Amino acid sequence: MKISREIRDVVQRRAHGVCEYCHLPQDASVLPHQVDHIIGKQHHGTDDLDNLCLCCIRCNLKKGPNIASLDAETGRIVPLFHPRRHSWSEHLSLDQDGRLHGLTPEGRATVQLMDMNDISRVSLRALLLRRSRYP
């Protein structure tokens, strides 16, 4: 099923125009942010608003259909950060250099799987931070 324009608008407004995983603002992205199924259709995820989030193209491509990954600190398979169920600030943090840090197993697994600290992503976040454009 295709996501309607109305649903897309609701998801974008709810996210305040930022990727709900890495917090990249839409206006700082070359490509439009996408509506992501947090739990993919192949895992019986639905098109309900509770299963949708705004996602930058990089996070969407890296996350793919994954719903879990390895937490390198504990060696355990854990669920990924879930934007509808988890508080971003409880699971993730940002330092002044633009690096994201996982604070919990879910946060660490998400940062690692989605390669959120790739040098180009860190550089962009650092630039946006200096310009007071990063949430």
103, 92 in Cβ contact below 8 A? yes
What is d(CA 125, CA 29) in angstroms, rounded to the nearest whole number?
11
How do the pLDDT tens digits run along the chain, 135 residues long?
578 999 999 999 999 999 999 999 999 999 999 999 999 999 999 999 999 999 999 999 999 999 999 999 999 999 999 999 999 999 999 999 999 999 999 999 999 999 999 999 999 999 999 999 988
pTM of the model: 0.94
For residues 108 and 71, the answer to whether their CB atoms sit within 8 Å is: yes
